[in-house]
Chain A
Amino acid sequence: MPDIHQSVPKIDAKEKISGRMTYVADMRYDDMLYAKTVRSSQAHARIRSVRVPTLPEGYHVVDHRDIPGKNVVKMIFDDWPVFASDTVHHVGEPIMLVVGPDKRIVQTLVDAIVIDYEPLNPTFSMTDSVVNYHYDKGDPASAFKAADTTVAYDYETGYQEQAYIEPQGFIGTYDDERIHLIGSIQAPYYVKNAVIDTMACDPDAIRVVQATVGGAFGGKEEFPSLMGCQLAVALNKIKRPIKLIYEREEDMDVTTKRHPSKTRIEGAIKEGRITALRIHIGIDGGAFIGLSGVVLSRAIIAATSAYTVDNLDVSGDVYKTNTVPNGAFRGFGAPQMIYAVEMFFHHVAKHLNVDVHDFRLKHLAKQGNHTSTSGLFRDPILMPEMIERACAMSDYHTKRKAYANPEVYKGIGMSWFLHGCGFTGSGEAEHIKAKIKLEKLPDGLVYLRVAAVDMGQGAKTTLMKVAAKTLDLPLERIRYENPDTDLVPDSGPTVASRTAMVVGGLVARAATKLKKTWIDDEHQVIHEQYVQPDYVRWNQDTFTGDAYPAYSWGVNVVEVEVDKTTLEVEVKHIWSTYDVGQSLDDNIVLGQADGGTAQGVAYGYLEVMRHREGKLLHKNMTDYVIPTAVDMAKTTTELYNNPFALGPYGAKGAGELTLVGGAPAVALAIEMAIGKRVHAIPATPEYLMEVLHHAND
């Protein structure tokens, strides 16, 4: 097999492009019923009564009284009910399912159900903290005391919707006392474990199979557990195949999104350097905590992004509001923080009236430096050459001089960033404990038994390549079917930029073992389990130590032109350099790069989502504006090799890295073009008009 980075056709490309691929919405069974969710119209209210019309023969309602086990969806923090019982906490909260054979009648019944609410006081502001984290590095108090000067700025980010092309959905059957769920999901075992708790049943009674996923971006990490639990309760009651597929508007209205955030950063400056930072980030968790605490962890750990600052006082809160719960989204808290930090470094340099580029370079993290959480950057950091290359490709320095003229309305912005690969802290070792199996059949075909999901990102192709190359077999001899919890061990959810590095690492190790012990015509099974590298030490209570075993690094340069009259922003070009350790397939990594920067840059200037009194205003693809091909700028991307010892062939994470730097790069470019500071994203023309009228510099 040629070098691992050389691209092969993605193994699922033909079926997908030709339209032959089957998604969960395409599946059907004889006797199948359709489910539709009855939802709260109130942001916060007590349910006084629910009046269900007389149900025709063969139609059912399913609600919290039908749950055999706990009425809570098992996530990281278990506070999210499967069905609302006496109180609703956000508009769109599920109250019951209506199930039956004819969609028209199901819809009529849904419309005829009358819920009597006693309104309660809703909260929409970020005031009610439900999670609070704090950590220090060094001695921030002394550094602030000794400072020549201090500067503080505030930053805000809005919602972001994953906007996967395929809405959420499941189909389920009930056979032989077993519940079998097939869904568009990122984490088969999250669903299985949640359903076991809700059903209070034997683990063997639940089988979860991943259907081909049409995009996820984190949106199918924890939310499908809720749907899976609801469907399981319905299957247990009705014992017929049931389909539960969301419509686009329903999906956008009720599923998890990126947390809106507010960040305040205060810097202590001495002799032209930032000696300490005091940072507080607040994120809007919505009505239930779910994963928000973990999102907050990643956000606060990203506090210094690609820089080193010796003294830190970092804290954060998750606030509960009566809005749709927010959750996992590519980047997982890091995009909010990295946006704020990158803007802050620029704003401080401007305040000090020093060259921004030199000022940033002074603070760039180096191998051997301590991370924000006092861990160690052990591996080489290629940022200096990656930055220089990105500047050369984009002609950054010439352009930033030329665009300093406020008349030209052009701007160029650059962001530097890192992304921790894998679960935060001891997550891999203590919570996930990934296991995989490599199974060789007598005919010589090798099956990857992993729970990792290919949601379009190319996991199947890359993991199969790792196995094929290690075994020295042609790719055709490797098999990787959509995970089925009856067949695959729990290798963890497909999240946190962990799949290539962690699961791929296990595949490489198993393949090495299989190769050594290979016996022709025999059925052989190799098991592997994740072992945390010895040197990784993490204290979750104090947030100190190595938050991640490895980091991927990146540089984005974005050039924009702003229309003088309307302040519309046109993104002209995006240049990027990335260190993802070792690319396992160049086209796949470049695909992640294009998609990630598209999503990250759009987060910074284009994608607007707001709510009014807890009701989302943007709930279809007309109103929630993501870039089209016409909006997408040209991209130029170069990859750097910097192999990580424990990743397969040196691979680190690539999935999230490519998103996290987009927003600050475009915001900085816009800032240069209009000559005013951008403190909030998305930097829409409406926002820029306001800034032009009210801001001073």
Chain B
Amino acid sequence: MVSHVIPKTYAEALTVLKAGNHRVIAGGTDMMVRHRAWAGLPPLFDKPVLFAFTLSELKYVKEDEQVICIGAMTDLETLLHHERTPALLRQVIAIMASPAIRYVSTLAGNIVNASPAADSLLALYALDAQVVLESTSGKRILSIEKTIVGPGKTVLHDDEMVAEIRIPKTRFTHTMFRKVGGRRADAITKIGFVGCATVNEGIIRDLRLVFNAVAPVVVREKSVEALHVGHSVKNVLSDTDTLMHHYSEHIKPIDDQRSNQHYRKEAALRLARHFLDTLA
């Protein structure tokens, strides 16, 4: 059995992490499942654990002119009902897990768990979220894309933890979110999609297409998006095949117990096409 620490303050937490051999537990809804043991036995943690969920210093939702800042230990249920939570993120959280799980799980946990099927990532990628990492030696602020590098892999150092998630305030004329899971609640995503766009007088001013569960990391191709900004919706819609072709290269889903590659790919592209159709 491994040891555990329940720090009283955030500063204490960072000091504990400094040694570099503790694993952070926020809500534990991934950690406890991953390290489950025979009922009645303690979980099989591989490292000492630091329980961070009680750190009230990290439970907040703040904002300034440009950014909404979410403390890392804010639970999802709070975010779901908070008026400052961006609407798109709220929409995504609303279909995550179930109320019981949402009360004890966090955005930071969803990010660091780095599952290609994590739901909140769709919104965080679409909204250009930034992740604030902190250790006793200071802070690093990284884009969400730079934070996650592979399934279950992030660039966090052993002595760092996520302190905050920052989401720039952005307005769109069109947004769409769809999660395809095995069922309508408490489901792991088979394939998910977020589309955001701003269309002004028939011209696309901003376009963001994000897919999850279709590749080792969430797919957002800013270069492809950029190709279409400044063009008329009409133009883009007259040749969605080219656009789909671009995404085809990045959408490389797998066969697993939840779905198959063929369905995932086709459903992903159909959702994107459907979103584009709504721009007209």
Give residues in A with beta carbon < 8 Å to B.
25, 36, 103-104, 107, 245, 247, 564-568, 570, 606, 608, 610, 617-618, 622-623, 625-631, 685-686, 689-690
Q: Say yes or no for B257: interface residue by CB 8 A criterion.
A: yes
Give chain B residues whose Cβ lies under 8 Å from the Cβ of A606.
182-183
Contact with A along B238-280 (1 / 0, CB 8 A): 0000000000000000001111101100110011001000000
- Say what secondary structure dominates the interface of chain B: loop
Give chain A residues whose Cβ lies under 8 Å from the Cβ of B38.
36, 103, 107, 247
> What is the bound-complex CA distance between A228 and B257, given in angstroms?
32
Most chain B CB within a 10 A radius of its CB, from A36, A565, A570: A565
Given contacts A107-B41, A618-B257, contact A628 B266 (CB under 8 A): no
Would you call A623 and B257 a contact (CB within 8 A)? yes
Given contacts A103-B40, A103-B41, A566-B180, contact A689 B257 (CB under 8 A): no
> What is the bound-complex CA distance between A470 and B274, given in angstroms?
64
Give chain A residues whose Cβ lies under 8 Å from the Cβ of B184.
570, 628, 630-631
Give chain B residues whose Cβ lies under 8 Å from the Cβ of A631.
183-185
Q: Which residues between 174 and 193 of chain B lie within 8 Å of chain A, taking CB atoms?
A: 178, 180, 182-188, 191
Given A627-B183, A628-B184: 18 more A-B contacts, CB < 8 Å: A36-B38, A103-B40, A247-B38, A247-B39, A565-B178, A565-B267, A565-B274, A566-B180, A566-B267, A570-B184, A606-B182, A623-B188, A623-B257, A628-B98, A628-B185, A631-B183, A631-B185, A690-B262
Given contacts A107-B38, A107-B41, A689-B267, contact A628 B180 (CB under 8 A): no
Give chain A residues whose Cβ lies under 8 Å from the Cβ of B41.
103-104, 107
Would you call B183 and A566 a contact (CB within 8 A)? no
Would you call B266 and A689 a contact (CB within 8 A)? yes
Give chain B residues whose Cβ lies under 8 Å from the Cβ of A617.
256-257
Give chain A residues whose Cβ lies under 8 Å from the Cβ of B182.
606, 608, 625
Give chain A residues whose Cβ lies under 8 Å from the Cβ of B39.
25, 245, 247
Please name the residue on chain A nearest to B178 by beta carbon.
A566
Please name the residue on chain A nearest to B275 by beta carbon.
A565
Nearest Cβ on chain B to A23's Cβ, whole angstroms: 12
Would you call B259 and A686 a contact (CB within 8 A)? yes
Number of interface residues of B (CB under 8 A): 28
Would you call B271 and A566 a contact (CB within 8 A)? yes
Give chain B residues whose Cβ lies under 8 Å from the Cβ of A626.
183
Nearest Cβ on chain A to B170's Cβ, whole angstroms: 25
Give chain A residues whose Cβ lies under 8 Å from the Cβ of B98.
628
Give residues in B with beta carbon < 8 Å to A.
37-41, 98, 178, 180, 182-188, 191, 256-260, 262-263, 266-267, 270-271, 274
> What is the bound-complex CA distance between A631 and B187, given in angstroms?
11
Contact of B186 among A245, A247, A610, A628 (CB under 8 A): A628
What are 19 inter-chain pairs, A to B, with CB distance below 8 A?
A: A107-B41, A247-B38, A565-B267, A565-B270, A566-B178, A566-B271, A606-B182, A617-B256, A626-B183, A628-B98, A628-B183, A629-B185, A630-B184, A631-B184, A631-B185, A685-B180, A686-B259, A686-B260, A689-B263
> What is the bound-complex CA distance between A627 and B98, given in angstroms?
13
Please name the residue on chain B nearest to A610 by beta carbon.
B257
Please name the residue on chain A nearest to B182 by beta carbon.
A625
Would you call B271 and A622 a contact (CB within 8 A)? no
> What is the bound-complex CA distance between A631 and B182, given in angstroms?
10
Most chain B CB within a 10 A radius of its CB, from A566, A629, A630, A686: A566
Give chain B residues whose Cβ lies under 8 Å from the Cβ of A685.
180, 263, 267
Would you call A623 and B258 a contact (CB within 8 A)? yes
> What is the bound-complex CA distance between A471 and B274, given in angstroms?
67
Nearest Cβ on chain A to B160's Cβ, whole angstroms: 29
> What is the bound-complex CA distance between A653 and B199, given in angstroms?
61
Would you call A689 and B262 a contact (CB within 8 A)? yes
Give chain A residues whose Cβ lies under 8 Å from the Cβ of B263.
685-686, 689
Nearest Cβ on chain B to A279's Cβ, whole angstroms: 31
Given contacts A103-B41, A247-B39, A625-B182, contact A565 B258 (CB under 8 A): no
> What is the bound-complex CA distance between A250 and B27, given in angstroms?
26
Would you call B185 and A630 a contact (CB within 8 A)? yes
> What is the bound-complex CA distance between A618 and B256, given in angstroms?
10
Would you call A625 and B178 a contact (CB within 8 A)? no
Give chain A residues whose Cβ lies under 8 Å from the Cβ of B270.
565-566
Nearest Cβ on chain B to A165's Cβ, whole angstroms: 14
Give chain B residues whose Cβ lies under 8 Å from the Cβ of A565.
178, 267, 270-271, 274
> What is the bound-complex CA distance between A685 and B270, given in angstroms?
13
Give chain B residues whose Cβ lies under 8 Å from the Cβ of A627.
183
Give chain A residues whose Cβ lies under 8 Å from the Cβ of B271.
565-566
Please name the residue on chain A nearest to B257 by beta carbon.
A617
> What is the bound-complex CA distance between A245 and B274, given in angstroms?
49
Nearest Cβ on chain B to A208's Cβ, whole angstroms: 24
Given contacts A245-B39, A566-B271, A568-B180, contact A622 B259 (CB under 8 A): no
Nearest Cβ on chain A to B82's Cβ, whole angstroms: 23
Give chain B residues whose Cβ lies under 8 Å from the Cβ of A103.
38, 40-41
Please name the residue on chain B nearest to A621 by beta carbon.
B186
> What is the bound-complex CA distance between A626 and B182, given in angstroms?
9
The 7 A-B residue pairs with the shortest CB-CB distance in the complex, in nearest-first order: A625-B182, A617-B257, A630-B185, A686-B263, A630-B184, A628-B185, A565-B274
> What is the bound-complex CA distance between A267 and B176, given in angstroms?
48
> What is the bound-complex CA distance between A565 and B193, given in angstroms?
12
Most chain B CB within a 10 A radius of its CB, from A103, A608, A625: A625
Give chain A residues whose Cβ lies under 8 Å from the Cβ of B186.
628
Please name the residue on chain B nearest to A623 by beta carbon.
B257
Please name the residue on chain B nearest to A617 by beta carbon.
B257
Nearest Cβ on chain B to A583's Cβ, whole angstroms: 31
Please name the residue on chain B nearest to A626 by beta carbon.
B183
> What is the bound-complex CA distance between A631 and B37, given in angstroms?
30
> What is the bound-complex CA distance between A623 and B41, given in angstroms?
24
Give chain A residues whose Cβ lies under 8 Å from the Cβ of B256.
617
Please name the residue on chain B nearest to A246 by beta carbon.
B39
> What is the bound-complex CA distance between A685 and B258, given in angstroms?
11
Nearest Cβ on chain B to A173's Cβ, whole angstroms: 19
Given contacts A247-B39, A566-B178, contact A625 B266 (CB under 8 A): no
> What is the bound-complex CA distance between A61 and B266, given in angstroms?
52
> What is the bound-complex CA distance between A631 and B267, given in angstroms?
21
Please name the residue on chain B nearest to A568 by beta carbon.
B180
> What is the bound-complex CA distance between A113 and B101, given in angstroms?
37
Please name the residue on chain B nearest to A250 by beta carbon.
B38
> What is the bound-complex CA distance between A568 and B267, given in angstroms?
10
Nearest Cβ on chain A to B233's Cβ, whole angstroms: 19
Give chain B residues whose Cβ lies under 8 Å from the Cβ of A608.
182
Please name the residue on chain B nearest to A607 by beta carbon.
B182
Give chain B residues whose Cβ lies under 8 Å from the Cβ of A36.
38
